[in-house]
Amino acid sequence: MQGAFAEHVRALEKSGARTRLVRTREDLEGLDGIVLPGGESTTMTMLMERAGLLEPLREAIAGGLATFATCAGMIVLARDVVDGMADQRGLGLLDVAVRRNGYGRQVDSFEAELDVTGLGGKPFPGVFIRSPLVESAGSTEVMARLDGHAVAVRQGRIVALCFHPELTGDLRLHREFVKLAAS
Q: What is the DSSP string of 45-57?
A: HHHHHHTT-HHHH
- Contact between residue 35 and residue 70 where contact means Cβ atoms under 8 Å apart: yes
CA R_g for the chain: 15
Nearest-10 Cα torsion for 164, 168, 173, 177: 70
For residue 174, indicate whether it is catalytic.
no
For residue 164, indicate whether it is catalytic.
yes
Which of 8, 149, 164, 174 is catalytic? The answer is 164
For residue 71, indicate whether it is catalytic.
yes
Which of 8, 149, 162, 166 is catalytic? The answer is 166
Phi, psi torsion values for 136, nearest 5 degrees: -150, 140
Which of 8, 71, 174, 176 is catalytic? The answer is 71
CA within 13 Å, CB half, 86 = 0
- Contact between residue 71 and residue 164 where contact means Cβ atoms under 8 Å apart: yes
Cα separation, 82 vs 79, in Å, equals: 10
Q: State the greatest distance between any 2 C-alpha atoms of the chain, in Å, as a whole number.
A: 43
Which positions are catalytic? 71, 164, 166
